[in-house]
Chain A
Amino acid sequence: MTAILSVAHLRVRFDDYLALDDVSISVAPGASFGLVGESGSGKSTLLRAVAGLAPVDAGEITVAGETMQGGRRSRDFYHKVQMVFQDPYGSLHPRQTVDRALLEPLAIHGFTDTDARIRRALDEVGLGPSFRFRYPHQMSGGQRQRIAIARALILEPEILLLDEPTSALDASVQAEVLNLLEQVRGERGLTFVMVSHDLGVVTHMCERLAVMQGGRIVEEVAAADLARGVVTTDYTRHLMVASKGFVRPETV
């Protein structure tokens, strides 16, 4: 198995703060890999480091056979790797229409059949052509996140980096967006790397996942094993208990 994305002994430092310490992951083509942890565990930083958005101190990032040099990424890299952010309110330009937001990546990468691609992208995320000339404030949170996904998919990337793509959404809308993501992954054979604090969401979406704490990976486990409770560290067990909801002490 050759990995499409591999990270080896990665270290990220913000001044005196070590955000990532000796982190290694390897993701096979077409796989879906999850990163779970609490705030400050470094899960988002790992994703951002892959995308070239965090300062890499030491270690190596290899994507589709190409080893990254520092924070610089080639245009070709962004053609292969796209990212969806947590907050659809913050990641879309408030003064740009959907059309403009979707045109931007196409223009950067020199596509000419823009009109057909924009229409197809909107269709693919389940929004009709009527959404094409809307502004972000004229859409709901779920619709905005669909646009953010359309923007990432329009370049036909191989890898999608998902940073808490549904945590700003209602539970019912979350289900719709998760279904959409699974569907496009099935159709296009995409590779997912997904960050979430919700164990239920990650085990639903990913086959393998890494549990992170304090900038390190404490455990890497198959989702099926985690669901059966076959985990080795107390921290993972702690997260599993916490995800089940509140237990009143007197009932013990």
Chain B
Amino acid sequence: MTLLTVENLKVHYPTRTGLVEAVRGVSFTLGRERLGIVGESGSGKSQTGRAIMGLTPPSALITADRLDYAGIDLLRASARQRRSLRGGRIAMVLQDPKYSLDPVMTIGKQIVETLRTHARVPGDEARRRALEMLEAVQIRDPERVYDLYPHEVSGGMGQRVMIAMMLIAGPEMLIADEPTSALDVTVQLEVLSILDRLVRDRGMGLIFISHDLRLVSSFCDRVLVMYAGRVVEEIAAGDLAHAKHPYTRGLIDCVPKLGEDRHPLPVLDRKPEWAQ
């Protein structure tokens, strides 16, 4: 079943020096699967996620032939309707929990706030569900963490709290924008396995945005590779070794790997026609 249909999505920013075309005609569909979007900074991958979420600043011009989420036309939806979707049926995990959590509110309160924004739940049940959710993201002592402030927990735990908060309202689709880039490699894998299990058990659709092609291909079913605001290649994660586009190949090759002796490293030779 298709959750999300994106056809010819464009995000443009009018500036003093002309129109900045951040996203230039992106199309894809998402079912209950794990879709990766990979690209360098400035490739438009985050802008795509934000446009779907409705978090683009008002100055942006967003157009699309279709931007449809479960039968709702997102471009025509009222602000109120989009608010109820955001955090309710569509959730988003951002890169750094240091900035995405409210620093002056306890963790428990923040999770409960999300839940009660989207569902009529009495206070004690909200608390119970928040504690359950903290346990589901493998926080060992949920009762203690519930009363802590975000600065009192580590980066890895902060990101688990963020995931708990995003999943408590039971979304059908999760957009994760570089959810593990701010974390250590070992913590990264713990957070990913939690995310993986929750997405699978709840049958959610996941859009995983990252610059790390290797990580994305080991985690997702399907990968979109973006360059200069366009999708240059769509490929099943398992077939990445047979990628055709020179940009995708370049992204795979330029990363130094354990046990390889390549001096100097191959660098990307950017061709202007890739951006056409």
Q: Which residues of A contact B (CB under 8 A)?
A: 38-39, 141, 170-176, 178-179, 182-183, 197-201, 203-205, 226-228, 238-240, 242-249
Contact = CB atoms under 8 A, between A and B. Distances in A.
14 contacts: A170-B40, A171-B40, A172-B40, A174-B254, A175-B254, A175-B267, A178-B256, A182-B263, A203-B256, A203-B259, A243-B258, A246-B192, A246-B196, A248-B196
A247 B217 CA distance: 10
A182 B265 CA distance: 10
The 3 closest A-B pairs by CB, nearest first: A204-B256, A245-B218, A175-B254
B186 interface: yes
Contacts of B213: 171
Given A175-B267, A178-B265, A245-B214, A200 B188 contact: no
B72 interface: no
Contacts of A170: 40-41, 211
Q: Which of A174, A178, A179, A245 has the most CB of B within 10 A?
A: A245
Contacts, number: 93
A179 to B, nearest CB: 4
B25 interface: no
Interface string B256-273: 111110111111100000
B257 A200 contact: yes
A146 B251 CA distance: 21
Contact of A247 (B41, B214, B218, B254): B218
A200 B258 contact: yes
A174 B189 CA distance: 22
Given A178-B256, A249-B193, A38 B212 contact: no
Contacts of B3: none
A194 to B, nearest CB: 12
A182 B264 contact: yes
A39 to B, nearest CB: 6
B256 A200 contact: yes
B186 A179 contact: no
Interface residues of B, number: 36
A204 B265 contact: yes
Nearest to B180: A246
Contacts of A249: 193
Contacts of B196: 246, 248
A179 B258 contact: no
Contacts of B260: 204, 227
A228 B255 contact: no
B85 interface: no
B215 interface: yes
A172 B250 contact: yes
B184 interface: yes
Contact of A199 (B258, B265, B266, B268): B258
B267 A176 contact: yes
Given A38-B185, A238-B186, A249-B193, A175 B255 contact: yes
A173 B251 CA distance: 10
Contacts of B192: 246
Given A141-B41, A172-B250, A248-B196, A179 B185 contact: no
A228 B259 contact: yes
A117 to B, nearest CB: 26
Given A38-B186, A201-B256, A226-B258, A245 B267 contact: no
A172 B218 contact: no
Interface in B49-83: none
B219 interface: yes
B268 A172 contact: yes
B155 interface: yes
